[in-house]
Amino acid sequence: MSFKDILNSGKFVVTAEVGPPKGTDIKEMIHHIELLKGKVDALNVTDNQSAVMRICSMAVCRICLDHGVEPILQMTCRDRNRIGLQSDLLGASVLNIKNVLCMTGDHVLAGDHKQAKPVYDLESVQLLGVVNSLNNGKDMSGNDLRGATDFFQGAVVTPEANPLEPQLIKFEKKVKAGAKFFQSQAIYDINRFKEFMKYARRFPVKMLAGIVVLKSAGMANFINNNVPGIRVPQELIDELKAAGKEKALDTGLNIAARHIKQLKDENICDGVHIMAIGMEDKVPIIMERAGLL
Amino acid sequence: MIITKKRELQELMENLKNYKSFFLIGCSECASLCGTGNQEAIDSLTESLKAEGKEVTGGFVPKTGCQVLGTKVELKPFKEALDKSDCILVMSCGAGTQAAVEIFEDKPVYPTNDSLFLGNMTRFQMFDERCSLCGKCILDKTGGICPVTACPKGILNGPCGGCKDGKCEVSPDIKCAWVRIYERMKRLDKLQELCDTVLEAKDWSQNIKPRTLATRPEKKEEKKK
Ligand code: SF4
Ligand code: SF4
Protein backbone atom coordinates (compact mmCIF):
# COMPACT_ATOMS: atom_id res chain seq x y z
CA MET A 1 0.00 0.00 0.00
CA SER A 2 1.25 3.47 -0.76
CA PHE A 3 1.91 6.06 1.94
CA LYS A 4 -1.17 7.93 0.76
CA ASP A 5 -3.37 4.85 1.02
CA ILE A 6 -2.02 3.92 4.43
CA LEU A 7 -2.62 7.44 5.69
CA ASN A 8 -6.12 7.50 4.25
CA SER A 9 -6.88 4.05 5.67
CA GLY A 10 -6.79 5.56 9.15
CA LYS A 11 -3.75 3.61 10.36
CA PHE A 12 -1.45 5.58 12.67
CA VAL A 13 1.52 6.22 10.37
CA VAL A 14 5.18 6.62 11.18
CA THR A 15 7.61 8.49 8.98
CA ALA A 16 11.29 9.05 9.64
CA GLU A 17 14.02 10.92 7.89
CA VAL A 18 17.18 10.17 5.95
CA GLY A 19 19.75 12.88 5.41
CA PRO A 20 21.79 12.43 2.21
CA PRO A 21 25.55 12.64 2.86
CA LYS A 22 28.01 15.17 1.50
CA GLY A 23 29.99 13.05 -0.91
CA THR A 24 29.47 9.88 -2.85
CA ASP A 25 30.01 7.36 -0.05
CA ILE A 26 26.48 6.18 0.68
CA LYS A 27 27.21 3.00 2.67
CA GLU A 28 26.08 4.41 6.00
CA MET A 29 22.97 5.98 4.48
CA ILE A 30 21.97 2.70 2.86
CA HIS A 31 22.49 0.98 6.20
CA HIS A 32 20.00 3.42 7.74
CA ILE A 33 17.50 2.90 4.95
CA GLU A 34 17.75 -0.87 5.38
CA LEU A 35 17.37 -0.48 9.14
CA LEU A 36 14.08 1.40 8.78
CA LYS A 37 12.70 -0.68 5.94
CA GLY A 38 9.47 -2.45 6.82
CA LYS A 39 9.21 -0.45 10.05
CA VAL A 40 8.30 3.06 8.96
CA ASP A 41 5.61 3.85 6.40
CA ALA A 42 7.73 6.36 4.51
CA LEU A 43 11.06 8.12 4.72
CA ASN A 44 11.55 11.83 4.19
CA VAL A 45 14.63 12.66 2.19
CA THR A 46 15.89 16.10 3.11
CA ASP A 47 16.78 18.68 0.46
CA ASN A 48 20.20 20.17 1.22
CA GLN A 49 19.07 20.46 4.82
CA SER A 50 20.08 23.64 6.65
CA ALA A 51 21.36 24.88 3.29
CA VAL A 52 24.35 22.53 3.55
CA MET A 53 25.20 21.10 0.12
CA ARG A 54 24.78 17.31 -0.14
CA ILE A 55 23.50 14.64 -2.55
CA CYS A 56 20.22 15.78 -4.05
CA SER A 57 17.00 14.56 -2.53
CA MET A 58 15.67 13.07 -5.77
CA ALA A 59 18.57 10.65 -6.25
CA VAL A 60 18.27 9.41 -2.68
CA CYS A 61 14.49 9.02 -3.04
CA ARG A 62 15.13 6.71 -5.96
CA ILE A 63 17.67 4.76 -3.88
CA CYS A 64 15.00 4.38 -1.18
CA LEU A 65 12.61 2.92 -3.75
CA ASP A 66 15.32 0.53 -4.92
CA HIS A 67 15.63 -0.64 -1.32
CA GLY A 68 11.90 -1.09 -0.93
CA VAL A 69 11.17 2.01 1.16
CA GLU A 70 8.65 4.63 0.11
CA PRO A 71 10.25 8.09 0.02
CA ILE A 72 8.88 11.56 0.62
CA LEU A 73 10.75 14.04 -1.55
CA GLN A 74 11.48 17.19 0.41
CA MET A 75 11.62 20.08 -1.98
CA THR A 76 12.74 23.58 -1.04
CA CYS A 77 12.52 26.73 -3.13
CA ARG A 78 15.96 27.98 -2.15
CA ASP A 79 18.06 26.52 -4.95
CA ARG A 80 15.85 26.32 -8.04
CA ASN A 81 13.60 28.70 -9.91
CA ARG A 82 10.16 27.71 -11.18
CA ILE A 83 11.61 26.04 -14.27
CA GLY A 84 14.01 23.92 -12.21
CA LEU A 85 11.36 23.01 -9.65
CA GLN A 86 8.78 21.91 -12.21
CA SER A 87 11.35 20.03 -14.23
CA ASP A 88 12.54 18.19 -11.12
CA LEU A 89 8.94 17.40 -10.18
CA LEU A 90 8.38 15.82 -13.60
CA GLY A 91 11.66 13.95 -13.18
CA ALA A 92 10.67 12.70 -9.73
CA SER A 93 7.34 11.58 -11.12
CA VAL A 94 8.86 9.38 -13.83
CA LEU A 95 11.23 7.93 -11.23
CA ASN A 96 8.08 6.79 -9.41
CA ILE A 97 8.46 9.15 -6.49
CA LYS A 98 4.92 9.79 -5.29
CA ASN A 99 5.16 12.03 -2.25
CA VAL A 100 6.47 15.54 -2.11
CA LEU A 101 6.87 17.85 0.86
CA CYS A 102 6.84 21.49 -0.20
CA MET A 103 8.93 23.91 1.81
CA THR A 104 10.46 27.35 1.37
CA GLY A 105 13.80 26.19 2.79
CA ASP A 106 16.38 27.56 5.22
CA HIS A 107 18.25 30.60 3.98
CA VAL A 108 21.68 30.04 2.42
CA LEU A 109 23.18 31.99 5.32
CA ALA A 110 22.38 28.99 7.56
CA GLY A 111 24.54 26.69 5.48
CA ASP A 112 28.02 26.09 4.13
CA HIS A 113 27.79 28.17 0.94
CA LYS A 114 26.96 31.55 2.40
CA GLN A 115 27.96 33.39 -0.77
CA ALA A 116 25.40 31.55 -2.91
CA LYS A 117 22.56 33.49 -4.51
CA PRO A 118 19.32 32.38 -2.83
CA VAL A 119 16.58 31.79 -5.41
CA TYR A 120 13.14 31.83 -3.77
CA ASP A 121 11.42 32.41 -7.10
CA LEU A 122 8.52 30.58 -5.40
CA GLU A 123 7.77 29.74 -1.77
CA SER A 124 6.00 26.86 -0.05
CA VAL A 125 2.41 27.98 -0.68
CA GLN A 126 3.08 28.65 -4.34
CA LEU A 127 5.01 25.38 -4.76
CA LEU A 128 2.00 23.49 -3.42
CA GLY A 129 -0.07 25.22 -6.07
CA VAL A 130 2.40 24.18 -8.75
CA VAL A 131 2.23 20.52 -7.67
CA ASN A 132 -1.54 20.74 -7.79
CA SER A 133 -1.38 22.16 -11.26
CA LEU A 134 1.08 19.50 -12.53
CA ASN A 135 -1.28 16.88 -11.07
CA ASN A 136 -3.97 18.43 -13.22
CA GLY A 137 -1.85 18.24 -16.35
CA LYS A 138 -0.78 21.87 -16.63
CA ASP A 139 2.46 23.67 -15.93
CA MET A 140 2.66 27.03 -14.16
CA SER A 141 2.26 28.93 -17.40
CA GLY A 142 -0.87 26.99 -18.25
CA ASN A 143 0.75 24.80 -20.91
CA ASP A 144 -0.60 21.27 -21.29
CA LEU A 145 1.62 18.44 -20.11
CA ARG A 146 1.96 15.25 -22.06
CA GLY A 147 1.15 13.10 -19.06
CA ALA A 148 0.23 14.62 -15.70
CA THR A 149 1.92 13.89 -12.38
CA ASP A 150 0.18 12.09 -9.54
CA PHE A 151 1.79 13.50 -6.43
CA PHE A 152 0.57 13.26 -2.86
CA GLN A 153 1.68 16.63 -1.60
CA GLY A 154 2.35 17.77 1.92
CA ALA A 155 3.79 20.68 3.85
CA VAL A 156 5.14 21.60 7.25
CA VAL A 157 3.60 23.53 10.11
CA THR A 158 4.97 24.90 13.39
CA PRO A 159 2.35 24.48 16.14
CA GLU A 160 4.58 26.16 18.74
CA ALA A 161 5.43 29.17 16.59
CA ASN A 162 5.64 32.47 18.40
CA PRO A 163 3.65 34.45 17.41
CA LEU A 164 1.29 31.66 16.35
CA GLU A 165 -1.46 33.45 14.47
CA PRO A 166 0.54 34.50 11.38
CA GLN A 167 1.76 30.89 11.15
CA LEU A 168 -1.82 29.60 11.26
CA ILE A 169 -2.85 31.99 8.50
CA LYS A 170 -0.07 30.47 6.41
CA PHE A 171 -1.16 26.95 7.38
CA GLU A 172 -4.63 27.71 6.04
CA LYS A 173 -3.14 29.05 2.82
CA LYS A 174 -1.20 25.80 2.44
CA VAL A 175 -4.41 23.82 2.91
CA LYS A 176 -6.11 25.99 0.30
CA ALA A 177 -3.16 25.52 -2.05
CA GLY A 178 -3.69 21.76 -1.95
CA ALA A 179 -1.61 20.32 0.90
CA LYS A 180 -2.98 16.88 1.78
CA PHE A 181 -0.78 16.08 4.74
CA PHE A 182 1.35 17.99 7.23
CA GLN A 183 4.42 17.08 9.21
CA SER A 184 4.83 19.35 12.19
CA GLN A 185 7.92 20.87 13.73
CA ALA A 186 8.95 18.97 16.87
CA ILE A 187 6.37 19.10 19.66
CA TYR A 188 6.93 18.28 23.34
CA ASP A 189 3.83 19.53 25.10
CA ILE A 190 1.03 17.11 24.23
CA ASN A 191 -1.68 19.17 25.91
CA ARG A 192 -0.79 22.23 23.88
CA PHE A 193 -0.60 20.09 20.75
CA LYS A 194 -4.10 18.81 21.53
CA GLU A 195 -5.30 22.41 21.49
CA PHE A 196 -3.62 22.91 18.14
CA MET A 197 -5.22 19.74 16.80
CA LYS A 198 -8.67 20.93 17.86
CA TYR A 199 -8.08 23.75 15.42
CA ALA A 200 -6.31 21.71 12.72
CA ARG A 201 -9.02 19.04 12.69
CA ARG A 202 -11.33 21.58 11.08
CA PHE A 203 -9.38 21.12 7.86
CA PRO A 204 -9.42 18.07 5.58
CA VAL A 205 -5.74 17.22 6.02
CA LYS A 206 -3.72 14.54 7.76
CA MET A 207 -1.41 15.63 10.56
CA LEU A 208 1.82 13.93 11.60
CA ALA A 209 3.34 15.20 14.84
CA GLY A 210 7.07 15.93 14.78
CA ILE A 211 9.15 13.95 17.26
CA VAL A 212 12.77 14.79 18.02
CA VAL A 213 14.58 12.77 20.69
CA LEU A 214 16.03 14.80 23.54
CA LYS A 215 19.51 13.50 24.33
CA SER A 216 20.07 15.57 27.45
CA ALA A 217 18.79 18.47 29.53
CA GLY A 218 21.49 20.55 27.84
CA MET A 219 20.06 19.81 24.42
CA ALA A 220 16.59 20.74 25.65
CA ASN A 221 17.84 24.07 26.97
CA PHE A 222 19.72 24.69 23.75
CA ILE A 223 16.54 24.08 21.74
CA ASN A 224 14.53 26.45 23.92
CA ASN A 225 17.09 29.18 23.51
CA ASN A 226 18.05 28.76 19.88
CA VAL A 227 15.65 26.79 17.75
CA PRO A 228 12.63 28.67 16.42
CA GLY A 229 9.19 27.15 16.89
CA ILE A 230 10.08 24.44 19.42
CA ARG A 231 9.39 24.61 23.16
CA VAL A 232 10.46 21.93 25.61
CA PRO A 233 8.45 22.16 28.86
CA GLN A 234 10.37 22.43 32.15
CA GLU A 235 9.01 19.07 33.45
CA LEU A 236 10.78 17.24 30.63
CA ILE A 237 14.02 19.11 31.26
CA ASP A 238 13.74 18.14 34.96
CA GLU A 239 13.04 14.54 34.03
CA LEU A 240 16.19 14.43 31.88
CA LYS A 241 18.23 16.10 34.61
CA ALA A 242 17.00 13.64 37.24
CA ALA A 243 18.00 10.73 35.01
CA GLY A 244 21.65 11.76 35.20
CA LYS A 245 24.24 11.81 32.40
CA GLU A 246 24.32 8.03 31.90
CA LYS A 247 20.59 7.55 31.54
CA ALA A 248 19.69 10.84 29.81
CA LEU A 249 19.50 9.44 26.30
CA ASP A 250 17.49 6.44 27.43
CA THR A 251 15.08 8.78 29.20
CA GLY A 252 14.86 10.87 26.02
CA LEU A 253 13.91 7.74 24.06
CA ASN A 254 11.29 6.93 26.71
CA ILE A 255 9.82 10.42 26.49
CA ALA A 256 9.57 10.13 22.69
CA ALA A 257 7.95 6.69 22.96
CA ARG A 258 5.54 7.88 25.65
CA HIS A 259 4.47 10.86 23.54
CA ILE A 260 3.95 8.72 20.46
CA LYS A 261 1.88 6.23 22.43
CA GLN A 262 -0.30 8.97 23.87
CA LEU A 263 -0.77 10.60 20.44
CA LYS A 264 -1.88 7.25 19.07
CA ASP A 265 -3.95 5.98 22.00
CA GLU A 266 -5.87 9.21 22.35
CA ASN A 267 -6.21 9.51 18.59
CA ILE A 268 -4.83 13.04 18.73
CA CYS A 269 -3.32 13.07 15.24
CA ASP A 270 -2.80 10.76 12.26
CA GLY A 271 0.77 9.72 12.86
CA VAL A 272 4.24 10.86 13.80
CA HIS A 273 7.32 12.04 11.96
CA ILE A 274 10.45 11.01 13.86
CA MET A 275 13.47 13.17 13.14
CA ALA A 276 16.39 11.19 14.53
CA ILE A 277 19.12 13.61 13.42
CA GLY A 278 22.04 11.20 13.38
CA MET A 279 20.38 8.57 15.60
CA GLU A 280 18.52 6.63 12.93
CA ASP A 281 19.39 3.38 14.73
CA LYS A 282 17.29 4.54 17.67
CA VAL A 283 14.09 4.86 15.63
CA PRO A 284 13.17 1.16 15.89
CA ILE A 285 13.81 1.28 19.65
CA ILE A 286 11.44 4.22 20.05
CA MET A 287 8.81 2.48 17.94
CA GLU A 288 9.16 -0.69 19.97
CA ARG A 289 8.75 1.15 23.26
CA ALA A 290 5.74 2.99 21.84
CA GLY A 291 4.18 -0.37 21.05
CA LEU A 292 4.29 0.15 17.30
CA LEU A 293 6.53 -2.81 16.40
CA MET B 1 17.34 57.54 -2.41
CA ILE B 2 20.34 55.54 -3.58
CA ILE B 3 22.53 54.52 -0.68
CA THR B 4 26.27 54.60 -1.27
CA LYS B 5 29.25 53.66 0.87
CA LYS B 6 32.77 55.02 0.60
CA ARG B 7 35.41 52.57 -0.56
CA GLU B 8 38.45 52.10 1.62
CA LEU B 9 41.31 54.30 0.45
CA GLN B 10 43.54 51.27 -0.04
CA GLU B 11 41.10 49.64 -2.46
CA LEU B 12 40.68 52.95 -4.25
CA MET B 13 44.41 53.53 -4.60
CA GLU B 14 44.84 50.11 -6.20
CA ASN B 15 42.70 51.38 -9.13
CA LEU B 16 44.47 54.72 -9.25
CA LYS B 17 48.10 53.71 -9.03
CA ASN B 18 48.77 54.46 -12.71
CA TYR B 19 47.25 57.97 -12.66
CA LYS B 20 48.69 61.20 -11.32
CA SER B 21 46.00 63.87 -11.44
CA PHE B 22 42.30 63.72 -10.70
CA PHE B 23 39.08 65.70 -11.02
CA LEU B 24 36.44 64.81 -8.42
CA ILE B 25 32.69 64.83 -9.17
CA GLY B 26 30.17 64.52 -6.32
CA CYS B 27 26.37 64.81 -6.31
CA SER B 28 24.09 67.08 -4.30
CA GLU B 29 21.29 64.54 -4.01
CA CYS B 30 21.52 61.06 -2.49
CA ALA B 31 25.31 60.95 -2.24
CA SER B 32 25.29 64.20 -0.28
CA LEU B 33 22.74 62.84 2.17
CA CYS B 34 24.89 59.73 2.51
CA GLY B 35 27.94 61.89 3.11
CA THR B 36 29.75 60.24 0.22
CA GLY B 37 29.47 62.90 -2.49
CA ASN B 38 29.08 66.29 -0.78
CA GLN B 39 31.70 69.07 -0.70
CA GLU B 40 33.10 67.72 2.60
CA ALA B 41 33.61 64.30 1.07
CA ILE B 42 35.39 65.90 -1.89
CA ASP B 43 37.61 67.93 0.44
CA SER B 44 38.46 64.90 2.53
CA LEU B 45 39.33 62.73 -0.49
CA THR B 46 41.39 65.61 -1.91
CA GLU B 47 43.44 65.60 1.31
CA SER B 48 43.91 61.84 1.20
CA LEU B 49 44.96 61.85 -2.45
CA LYS B 50 47.47 64.64 -1.82
CA ALA B 51 48.87 62.67 1.10
CA GLU B 52 49.39 59.80 -1.33
CA GLY B 53 51.38 62.13 -3.58
CA LYS B 54 48.64 62.66 -6.16
CA GLU B 55 47.42 65.91 -7.68
CA VAL B 56 43.82 67.11 -7.59
CA THR B 57 43.03 69.55 -10.41
CA GLY B 58 39.53 70.38 -9.15
CA GLY B 59 36.23 69.14 -7.83
CA PHE B 60 32.54 69.92 -8.18
CA VAL B 61 29.21 68.86 -6.73
CA PRO B 62 26.63 68.85 -9.57
CA LYS B 63 22.93 69.15 -8.77
CA THR B 64 21.97 65.63 -9.90
CA GLY B 65 24.94 63.51 -10.88
CA CYS B 66 22.91 60.88 -12.69
CA GLN B 67 21.31 63.46 -14.98
CA VAL B 68 23.59 63.31 -18.00
CA LEU B 69 22.77 66.53 -19.86
CA GLY B 70 22.43 68.73 -16.77
CA THR B 71 25.73 67.53 -15.34
CA LYS B 72 27.48 68.06 -18.65
CA VAL B 73 26.30 71.68 -18.75
CA GLU B 74 27.22 72.29 -15.10
CA LEU B 75 30.75 70.98 -15.71
CA LYS B 76 31.45 73.32 -18.66
CA PRO B 77 33.12 76.05 -16.54
CA PHE B 78 35.59 73.45 -15.25
CA LYS B 79 36.98 72.58 -18.68
CA GLU B 80 40.56 73.59 -17.87
CA ALA B 81 40.79 71.63 -14.62
CA LEU B 82 39.10 68.66 -16.26
CA ASP B 83 41.56 68.74 -19.17
CA LYS B 84 44.52 68.85 -16.78
CA SER B 85 43.38 65.68 -14.98
CA ASP B 86 44.22 62.28 -16.38
CA CYS B 87 41.40 60.52 -14.51
CA ILE B 88 37.90 61.39 -13.25
CA LEU B 89 36.69 60.13 -9.88
CA VAL B 90 32.95 59.99 -9.32
CA MET B 91 31.76 60.21 -5.74
CA SER B 92 28.10 59.31 -6.21
CA CYS B 93 26.33 56.07 -7.22
CA GLY B 94 26.87 53.71 -10.13
CA ALA B 95 24.42 55.77 -12.18
CA GLY B 96 26.41 58.94 -11.52
CA THR B 97 29.62 57.20 -12.49
CA GLN B 98 28.10 56.07 -15.77
CA ALA B 99 26.77 59.55 -16.48
CA ALA B 100 30.40 60.69 -16.29
CA VAL B 101 31.47 57.83 -18.54
CA GLU B 102 29.00 59.12 -21.13
CA ILE B 103 30.23 62.71 -20.76
CA PHE B 104 33.96 61.91 -20.83
CA GLU B 105 34.35 59.49 -23.71
CA ASP B 106 38.14 59.71 -23.78
CA LYS B 107 39.01 59.72 -20.11
CA PRO B 108 39.12 56.94 -17.55
CA VAL B 109 36.34 57.29 -14.94
CA TYR B 110 36.45 55.43 -11.61
CA PRO B 111 33.91 55.13 -8.79
CA THR B 112 34.94 55.97 -5.24
CA ASN B 113 31.82 54.43 -3.71
CA ASP B 114 29.94 51.17 -3.72
CA SER B 115 26.23 51.57 -4.51
CA LEU B 116 24.14 49.51 -2.13
CA PHE B 117 20.37 49.91 -2.34
CA LEU B 118 17.35 52.15 -2.64
CA GLY B 119 16.89 53.30 0.92
CA ASN B 120 14.85 55.26 3.39
CA MET B 121 16.74 57.61 5.68
CA THR B 122 15.55 56.72 9.19
CA ARG B 123 17.92 59.02 11.12
CA PHE B 124 20.83 61.18 10.05
CA GLN B 125 22.96 58.97 7.78
CA MET B 126 21.13 55.79 8.80
CA PHE B 127 19.41 53.93 6.00
CA ASP B 128 16.99 51.02 5.56
CA GLU B 129 16.10 49.12 2.42
CA ARG B 130 12.33 48.99 2.00
CA CYS B 131 11.76 48.67 -1.75
CA SER B 132 13.82 46.70 -4.24
CA LEU B 133 12.16 48.14 -7.36
CA CYS B 134 10.70 44.80 -8.42
CA GLY B 135 8.64 46.33 -11.20
CA LYS B 136 5.19 45.28 -10.03
CA CYS B 137 4.29 46.64 -6.64
CA ILE B 138 2.28 44.49 -4.22
CA LEU B 139 2.16 46.93 -1.31
CA ASP B 140 -1.58 47.21 -1.89
CA LYS B 141 -1.90 43.55 -0.82
CA THR B 142 0.47 43.51 2.14
CA GLY B 143 -0.60 46.39 4.34
CA GLY B 144 2.00 48.68 2.79
CA ILE B 145 5.00 46.66 4.00
CA CYS B 146 7.10 45.05 1.27
CA PRO B 147 7.88 41.35 1.82
CA VAL B 148 9.86 41.20 -1.42
CA THR B 149 12.42 43.40 0.32
CA ALA B 150 11.86 43.07 4.06
CA CYS B 151 11.83 39.24 4.04
CA PRO B 152 15.24 37.81 3.07
CA LYS B 153 13.41 35.03 1.24
CA GLY B 154 10.89 37.35 -0.41
CA ILE B 155 8.06 35.12 0.82
CA LEU B 156 4.67 36.38 -0.31
CA ASN B 157 2.24 34.36 1.80
CA GLY B 158 3.26 34.37 5.45
CA PRO B 159 6.13 33.69 7.82
CA CYS B 160 8.51 30.77 7.39
CA GLY B 161 9.25 28.31 10.17
CA GLY B 162 12.43 30.18 11.03
CA CYS B 163 10.65 33.11 12.65
CA LYS B 164 11.66 33.14 16.32
CA ASP B 165 9.78 35.33 18.81
CA GLY B 166 8.87 37.65 15.98
CA LYS B 167 12.46 37.97 14.76
CA CYS B 168 13.78 36.87 11.39
CA GLU B 169 15.61 33.58 10.91
CA VAL B 170 18.38 35.38 9.07
CA SER B 171 19.16 37.94 11.75
CA PRO B 172 17.81 38.55 15.25
CA ASP B 173 18.31 42.26 14.54
CA ILE B 174 15.43 42.37 12.07
CA LYS B 175 11.81 41.79 12.80
CA CYS B 176 10.11 39.13 10.65
CA ALA B 177 8.47 40.95 7.73
CA TRP B 178 5.42 38.72 8.01
CA VAL B 179 4.93 39.42 11.69
CA ARG B 180 5.07 43.13 10.83
CA ILE B 181 2.54 42.67 8.04
CA TYR B 182 0.30 40.61 10.32
CA GLU B 183 0.43 43.23 13.07
CA ARG B 184 -0.33 46.06 10.69
CA MET B 185 -3.24 44.24 9.06
CA LYS B 186 -4.57 43.41 12.51
CA ARG B 187 -4.38 47.06 13.56
CA LEU B 188 -6.23 48.03 10.39
CA ASP B 189 -8.80 45.31 11.12
CA LYS B 190 -7.98 43.60 7.83
CA LEU B 191 -6.90 40.13 9.00
CA GLN B 192 -9.63 38.46 6.96
CA GLU B 193 -8.28 40.12 3.84
CA LEU B 194 -4.79 38.85 4.72
CA CYS B 195 -6.13 35.28 5.11
CA ASP B 196 -8.07 35.43 1.87
CA THR B 197 -5.27 36.75 -0.33
CA VAL B 198 -2.98 34.08 -1.71
CA LEU B 199 -0.36 35.96 -3.69
CA GLU B 200 0.77 34.29 -6.87
CA ALA B 201 4.41 33.95 -7.82
CA LYS B 202 5.84 37.26 -8.93
CA ASP B 203 6.13 38.11 -12.61
CA TRP B 204 9.87 38.68 -12.89
CA SER B 205 9.57 39.59 -16.56
CA GLN B 206 8.81 43.06 -15.17
CA ASN B 207 12.34 43.09 -13.82
CA ILE B 208 14.43 42.28 -16.89
CA LYS B 209 17.45 44.51 -17.11
CA PRO B 210 18.22 47.07 -18.37
CA ARG B 211 14.84 48.73 -17.92
CA THR B 212 13.90 51.97 -19.67
CA LEU B 213 10.94 54.29 -19.36
CA ALA B 214 9.79 57.34 -21.28
CA THR B 215 6.92 59.35 -19.85
CA ARG B 216 7.15 62.35 -22.19
CA PRO B 217 4.17 62.05 -24.54
CA GLU B 218 6.12 62.48 -27.81
CA LYS B 219 8.84 60.06 -26.64
CA LYS B 220 6.21 57.51 -25.72
CA GLU B 221 5.01 57.64 -29.31
CA GLU B 222 8.56 57.25 -30.61
CA LYS B 223 9.11 54.21 -28.36
CA LYS B 224 5.97 52.58 -29.69
CA LYS B 225 7.23 52.93 -33.25
S1 SF4 C 1 6.55 45.19 -4.09
FE2 SF4 C 1 8.25 45.90 -2.84
S3 SF4 C 1 10.01 45.83 -4.21
FE4 SF4 C 1 8.20 45.74 -5.48
S5 SF4 C 1 7.85 47.89 -6.03
FE6 SF4 C 1 6.56 47.44 -4.23
S7 SF4 C 1 7.82 48.06 -2.48
FE8 SF4 C 1 9.19 47.91 -4.23
S1 SF4 D 1 11.60 34.86 9.52
FE2 SF4 D 1 10.11 36.14 8.46
S3 SF4 D 1 11.31 37.72 7.40
FE4 SF4 D 1 12.73 36.10 8.01
S5 SF4 D 1 12.89 34.75 6.23
FE6 SF4 D 1 11.26 33.89 7.53
S7 SF4 D 1 9.37 34.85 6.79
FE8 SF4 D 1 11.06 36.03 5.95
Percent helix, percent strand, percent coil in chain A, to nearest 5: 45, 15, 40
Q: How confident is the model at residue A144 (pLDDT cuts 50, 70, 90)?
A: very high
The share of chain A scoring above pLDDT 90, in percent, equals: 99
CB contacts of A126 in chain B (<8 Å) are: 156-157, 200-201
**Domain presence at residue A105:** yes
**Under 8 Å between Cβ of A91 and A125:** no
CATH of B2-117, one of 3.40.50.11610, 3.40.50.300, 3.40.50.2300, 2.60.40.1260: 3.40.50.2300
Tell which one of B130, B149, B164, B176 to mutate to probe ligand 2, the residue whose CB is within 8 A of the most ligand atoms: B176
> Residue A123's closest CA among B157, B206, B196?
B157
**How far does B216 lie from chain A, in Å, by closest CA?**
34
Q: How confident is the model at residue A192 (pLDDT cuts 50, 70, 90)?
A: very high
For ligand 2, the distance from its centroid to the CA atom of residue B153, given in whole angstroms, is 7
Identify the closest residue of chain A to B153 by CA–CA distance: A120
- pLDDT value at position B223? 63
pLDDT (tens digit, 9 = 90+) per residue, B126-185? 999 999 999 999 999 999 999 999 999 999 999 999 999 999 999 999 999 999 999 999
Identify the closest residue of chain A to B162 by CA–CA distance: A228
pLDDT (tens digit, 9 = 90+) per residue, A156-183? 999 999 999 999 999 999 999 999 999 9
Report domain extents, chain B. Answer: 2-117, 133-200
- pLDDT value at position B96? 98
> Residue A100's closest CA among A76, A126, A67, A65?
A76
- pLDDT value at position B209? 95
**Domain presence at residue A256:** no
**Domain presence at residue A271:** yes
Question: Which of B166, B191, B202 has the CB atom closest to A163's CB atom?
Answer: B166
Which regions of chain B are under pLDDT 70? Answer: 219-225
Q: Chain B residues with CB-CB distance to A under 8 A?
A: 152-166, 169-170, 178-179, 181-182, 191, 194-195, 198, 200-202, 204
Q: What are the start-end ranges of the H helices in B56-206?
A: 68-75, 79-84, 94-103, 147-150, 177-187, 191-196
**How far does B57 lie from chain A, in Å, by closest CA?**
40
Report angle CA A153, A159, A162 to the nearest 5 degrees: 125
**Domain presence at residue A148:** yes
Interface test with B, best of A119, A131, A164, A167 (most B CBs within 10 A): A167
Number of the ligand closest to the Cα of B137: 1
CB contacts of B155 in chain A (<8 Å) are: 104, 120, 123
CB contacts of B162 in chain A (<8 Å) are: 106-107, 228-229
The number of distinct structural domains making up chain A is: 1
Alpha-carbon distance of B162 to A221, in angstroms, equals: 18
* B134 Cβ below 6 A of ligand 1: yes
Question: Which of A110, A126, A170 has the CB atom closest to B201's CB atom?
Answer: A126
* Subunit contact A228:B155, Cβ cutoff 8 A: no
Atom 6 of ligand 2, nearest CA residue: B160
pLDDT (tens digit, 9 = 90+) per residue, A52-74? 999 999 999 999 999 999 999 99
Q: How confident is the model at residue A277 (pLDDT cuts 50, 70, 90)?
A: confident
**Under 8 Å between Cβ of B7 and B114:** yes
**Under 8 Å between Cβ of A124 and A103:** yes
**Domain presence at residue A174:** yes
**Domain presence at residue A254:** no
**Domain presence at residue A205:** yes
Summary count for chain B: helices (H), strands (E): 10, 7
Residue-range definition of the domain harbouring residue A34:
3-213+267-278
Looking at the CA of residue B130, tell me the nearest atom of ligand 1.
7
Tell which one of B117, B129, B131 to mutate to probe ligand 1, the residue whose CB is within 8 A of the most ligand atoms: B131
